[in-house]
Structure 1
Amino acid sequence: MRFQSLYGEAAGDWKLSADWSPEAPFFGAVAAPLLVALIGAAERHGLTVVGVEPHFVTAWNRCQGALKAGAWFGLVHDQVLTVGAVEGRRLRAVRALALPHGADQYWLSQVLAREALLLGLSAPACLQLSGPVPPAWTQAPTQSAHVRVTAFTPGVQGASQSAVVILAGGAGGAGAAPARRRLRIDFAPASLRRTLFQLPPAVWAGAVLGLALCVGAALAGQQLAERGRARAAQTRAAEQRLARARVQVLAPAPKARIAPERAAYINAAILQLNLPWRELQEAVAAATPPAVALLTLEPDAKKHVLRLSAEAKTSDDMIAYVQALKEQEFFTGVVLTRHETNEQDPNRPLRFQLEAEWLAR
């Protein structure tokens, strides 16, 4: 009903496409028979329609990034000037104006002033145009024409039509949209090819990267599986060799006879090797203060006794040292066996001997 009241046409005869931004809705319409004819012509030639955009929408999307602040946007095509009235950062309205013969700057200024008055806006001081601009419009403004006209560079405008986008006439729009935002108006029917065509380059790059990662992961998984199978085969071969070796009957080796004296010597050497040297050293080192000088350490592996001789400056140092050895967890008992003063030494130190017993483990 709204469409019919605005344009006097039944909505069923038109294909509508809207850019439903919550803050700035924008819509376009194309005649349904024209759209059906375009799609049918493409199908007859084995092609798929991936996009049908209004000419104004295509030009706006291409040029809106270079639009200056305070300027309106215009598109010149087929003796028609389509004007996009911009308010701040919003596209306020779109108007299609037929170009009369000999339209000059004065005509352009009057038309823009009238459209601004109808929209309740200030007349623009600049109009940036896309398409073939009449030479008379690019001259310096006169007193009666206050609108400065500039044309977008060819690099910004691009080609007048796109090889992959079919431009449909008969579309109009009203409403508001942010000036720095592309308009998403497309009448092409939904399809897989259209969806793929509209994917941004970043998505394609991500898909290619993901595919490469998947292929790399598959190859790595295959290599790991092959290595696992090779290790399993090696393990089975080793188990088979071990099983065959167990089956073989080995003749018992003759027992060698050792003389008692040699056996006693070997046992003593084994006991000596099994001495807890590290524990003995750590326990003695922890209990020995700077005032005590160790002279000898003689461990008896068979009796689990450590005979120790040392020198101290005073008897108090000696007694304290004996007590410190008793406090070590490694020793089960400490006995002072002898002490005397070394008269040959000018400092006359106290020389003593003791025995520390440790628990067999």
Structure 2
Amino acid sequence: MRALMLDFQPRRRSGPLGWSLLAAGVVLALTCVALGQHVSDQSSQQQGHLQTAQRVLTGDTGTKLSLTPAQIREQAQNLAEMRKVSQQLRRPWEHLFATLESMPRDNIALLTLTPDARKGQVRITAEARDLEAMLDFHRRLEASDELSDVSLLSHEIVANVPEHPVQFNLSATWEIGDANP
């Protein structure tokens, strides 16, 4: 009798489909690694350009030089100017606008409002129904907590309109106590 050969795990044979899938996977992995390296190089290059641009904008030459007295004075002036701008931005603009809007203006129409935060002044251009309304508006502005030293800069009676309204310009000092550093 012949010996019995039992093969419970047959040999697997790789076909062309398996080898082609393996090759495609290897090519895909190598492509991803190459693209990742390229993106990393581009990022490093862009970072270098950014640092160069920042040095140019800030005037940093890479070496630490001592400043001359003239440069120190110029920097101090620039710093003082930046502080003034910062102070202007911290002024309570909404409160000024709310104050002007809350005033009764039955016979007054506000045309323009030009605040000058640096000088702490406000210029108001308005139109009144008559001279008495203009003077009353002037008195109410002077009595407000926000504005003081209200001055009439100019006025003109509009003759070509039947009601003869009065156009006028006022200047006032804008008093605030909470915007100072």
Higher helix share: 2
Which has the larger Rg? 1
Q: TM-score, normalised by structure 1?
A: 0.26
More strand by share: 1
